[in-house]
Amino acid sequence: MPKFDVSKRDLERLVGKEFTVEEWEDLFLYAKCELDDVWEENGEIYFKADSKDTNRPDLWSAEGIARQIRWALGFQRGLPKYEVEKSDVTVYVDERLKDIRPYGVYAVVEGLKLDEEALKQMINLQEKVALTFGRRRREVAIGIFDFDKVKPPIYYRAGKKTERFVPLGFEEELTLEEILEKHEKGKEYGHLIKDRPYYPLLVDSEGKVLSMPPIINSKTTGRVTTETRNVFVDVTGWDLNKVMLALNVVVTALAERGGKIRSVKVVYPDFEIETPDLTPKSFEVELDYIRKLAGLELSDGEIKDLLERMMYDVTLEDGKAKLLYPAFRDDIMHARDVLEDVLIAYGYNEIEPEEPKLAVQGRGDKFVEFEDAVRELMVGFGLQEVMTFNLTNREAQYDRMNLEYGRDYFNNPPAELVEIENPISPKWSALRNWLLPSLLDFLSQNTHEEYPQRLFEVGKATLIDEGRETKTVSESKLTVVLAQPRVTFTDAKEILDSVMRHLDFEYEVEEVEHPSFIPGRVGRIIVNGQTIGVIGEIHPSVLEKWGIEMPVAGFELFLRPLYTEPYL
């Protein structure tokens, strides 16, 4: 979660009212933040804010926090209004950047009066958005320049690696290639563009370099000070919607400092746009849905009031609230997101807890108790339980297992993964659909431990199910791996026999082909005519990909088909 420092005096100047430190502790909750620390420096009080929402980059600065609090306290209501006037600035985007870093969006903000705290917040917001929301500049990188030193039109173009400019923090010119090798930011972020035939450059009509996205600004135009009055904002990345959102966040924060936003025409090879686009977004929610899930007796008017204090324009019609909300937000995807805003405005601390009045006694879920009983059974067989991550990646689930993505191996694994659209790391980019790769990964991390290693896991696999609201379903599975010299199919089957005998199930093993296992030493597990799993000796090439030198055998099966009442 993003953490950043803000000055109490600066916050109060932006809100328009002074508060005690204790009051600020509660006020931060309106902005989905916690007050992490308080200290005094040079006679001024500072707060360390800890944001609890990675989907609200507009709240990662003093400007965003103060804006949210002004509305929550009722100082202002409804949709924030920002005037955007057209400028005569045009940016031309080079077609050669299509496979390098294709999108750039821009704005001019004029009439700023920046003191040291405002400058600090601007830099903080720029870095936090690029680091967290922008996935360490891979998806979003932001540059802010002294516009008075720039001569439009501006060109976002492919630069040769031998081109030169003086990067921020240096005194001498470096080639683009040298910047990646010598500059601190080049070393940190150079991997994002290093293998490309060209490097992105932002230059003005005189050929003056503004920046080398997403690495570093130039010293000439990229140094903004308290003397700067007009700025040019540049956001680049791979997803046009994401870079547009980041631009909206930055320019509206600067507008909170008194800046006037002016749009820029961006000319791509096949289309043109004007940025920023601060057109409000719309959503619709049932009022009864809000009341039911909130557990509060709220009138239509009260819901409208609470939403207006969270920066919505609200129209009530036929039991629904038709909403307009700011263009710097992109987190309203479900009615629950609107409900959360209602509860924040109402105040979580104002909700009186009620003891549930139930005519029954609670007990554990019976299937969960069944899973626990299976765990105890496996421990009784002399196996050690492990718990591995549900998050994984396509390489681990398929490539390292000798499997072809898109092909269904009798649901062990299924044809496709549930993948994350914007993963924070390529290593954690999907939800696993079988557990065996996770246990092989565990073995690969413990090759220094003594053998035999006899492991099991009872865990979740996430499968695609188009018939459900979420389009997914989590299935409980049992996976066993045995790593020891001369381990065989028979060793794994002995444990499977014991499991089935204790659960009172008859089963069959039918020989099949499965690339993760040695041919002739692999079979599908069948119960009541249904395939529920796979058993076999792991193929040597799979073991090699995982860096495992010891033979491994094991099995994996779905637990739900083995669940009956009573059990065990």
Stretch 313-331: mean pLDDT: 95
User: Quick check: is 357 in a domain?
Assistant: no
Q: Is the pLDDT of residue 412 over 90?
A: no
Mean pLDDT (the chain, rounded)? 92
Assess whether 60 and 119 both reside in one domain.
no
Of the three residues 75, 110, 140, the one that is the final residue of a domain is 75
Res. 257 pLDDT band, cuts 50 70 90: very high
Stretch 532-539: mean pLDDT: 96
Contacts 24+ apart (CB under 8 A), 338-342: 338/283, 338/285, 338/290, 338/307, 339/285, 339/289, 339/290, 339/293, 339/294, 341/306, 341/307, 341/310, 341/312, 342/290, 342/294, 342/298, 342/303, 342/306, 342/307, 342/310
User: Quick check: is 358 in a domain?
Assistant: no
- Rounded CA separation 153/271 (Å): 17
Q: Is the pLDDT of residue 1 over 70?
A: no
> Which of 111, 144, 118 has the alpha carbon at shortest distance from 129?
144
- Rounded CA separation 70/336 (Å): 23
Q: How high is the pLDDT of residue 566?
A: 57
Q: What does the buried/exposed string (b/e) look like for 376-404 if buried means 16 or more CB atoms within 10 Å of the residue's CB?
A: ebbeeeebeebebebbbbbbbbbebbebe
Q: Is the pLDDT of residue 220 over 90?
A: no
Q: How high is the pLDDT of residue 427?
A: 86
Q: Is the pLDDT of residue 437 over 80?
A: yes
Assess whether 123 and 185 both reside in one domain.
yes
User: Quick check: is 248 in a domain?
Assistant: yes
Backbone angles phi, psi at 308, to 5 degrees: -65, -30
Q: How high is the pLDDT of residue 421?
A: 80
Cα–Cα distances (Å) from 181 to 34, 85, 189, 196, in that order, read 39, 41, 11, 15
- Rounded CA separation 284/320 (Å): 7
Q: How many domains does the chain have?
A: 4
% pLDDT > 90, the chain = 79
Assess whether 551 and 478 both reside in one domain.
yes
- Residue 281's H or E segment, with its range, is strand 281-286
DSSP string covering 21-79, please? HHHHHHHGGGGTEEEEEEEEETTEEEEEEEE--TT-GGGSSHHHHHHHHHHHTTSS-SS
- Rounded CA separation 454/551 (Å): 12
Show the domain range for 253.
82-275
Q: How high is the pLDDT of residue 476?
A: 96
User: Quick check: is 353 in a domain?
Assistant: no
Say which CATH number the domain at 1 has: 3.30.56.10
Looking at the DSSP bridge assignments, the partners of residue 313 are 324
Cα–Cα distances (Å) from 27 to 68, 164, 302, in that order, read 10, 49, 21
Q: Between helices 62-72 and 240-255, what is the axis angle to 10°?
A: 70
Q: How high is the pLDDT of residue 260?
A: 97
Cβ distance 452 to 483 under 8 Å? yes
Of the three residues 295, 315, 347, the one that is the final residue of a domain is 347
Burial class of 529 by CB neighbour count within 10 A (0 to 12, 13 to 18, 19+): exposed
Token pair 């009442």 is at which residue? 565
User: Quick check: is 568 in a domain?
Assistant: no
pTM: 0.72
Q: In residues, how long is the chain?
A: 568
User: Quick check: is 235 in a domain?
Assistant: yes
Assess whether 258 and 300 both reside in one domain.
no
Assess whether 68 and 89 both reside in one domain.
no
For strands 260-267 and 84-93, give the pairing. Answer: parallel
Say which CATH number the domain at 106 has: 3.50.40.10
Cα–Cα distances (Å) from 326 to 82, 279, 281, 330, in that order, read 10, 8, 6, 9
For strands 418-419 and 430-431, give the pairing. Answer: antiparallel
Q: Is the pLDDT of residue 66 over 90?
A: yes
Res. 358 pLDDT band, cuts 50 70 90: confident
Assess whether 213 and 322 both reside in one domain.
no
Assess whether 224 and 372 both reside in one domain.
no
- Rounded CA separation 221/394 (Å): 43
> Which of 232, 228, 245, 277 has the alpha carbon at shortest distance from 82?
277
pLDDT tens-digit profile of 91-150?
Answer: 999 999 999 999 999 999 999 999 999 999 999 999 999 988 888 898 999 999 999 999
Assess whether 259 and 183 both reside in one domain.
yes
pLDDT tens-digit profile of 440-486?
Answer: 999 999 988 899 999 999 999 999 988 888 889 999 999 999 999 99
Assess whether 529 and 555 both reside in one domain.
yes
Stretch 68-73: mean pLDDT: 94
Q: Is 492 helix (H, G, I), strand (E, B) or coil?
A: helix
Cβ distance 422 to 522 under 8 Å? no
Q: Is 143 helix (H, G, I), strand (E, B) or coil?
A: strand
- Rounded CA separation 182/218 (Å): 15
Q: Is the pLDDT of residue 568 over 70?
A: no
Window from 1-5, 124-128, 267-271, 462-466 with minimum mean pLDDT: 1-5
pLDDT tens-digit profile of 170-202?
Answer: 989 999 999 999 999 999 999 999 989 999 999
Assess whether 331 and 392 both reside in one domain.
no
- Rounded CA separation 348/32 (Å): 12
Cβ distance 222 to 168 under 8 Å? yes
User: Quick check: is 257 in a domain?
Assistant: yes
Res. 422 pLDDT band, cuts 50 70 90: confident
- Rounded CA separation 214/186 (Å): 9
Assess whether 171 and 228 both reside in one domain.
yes
Window from 190-204, 412-426, 428-442 with minimum mean pLDDT: 412-426
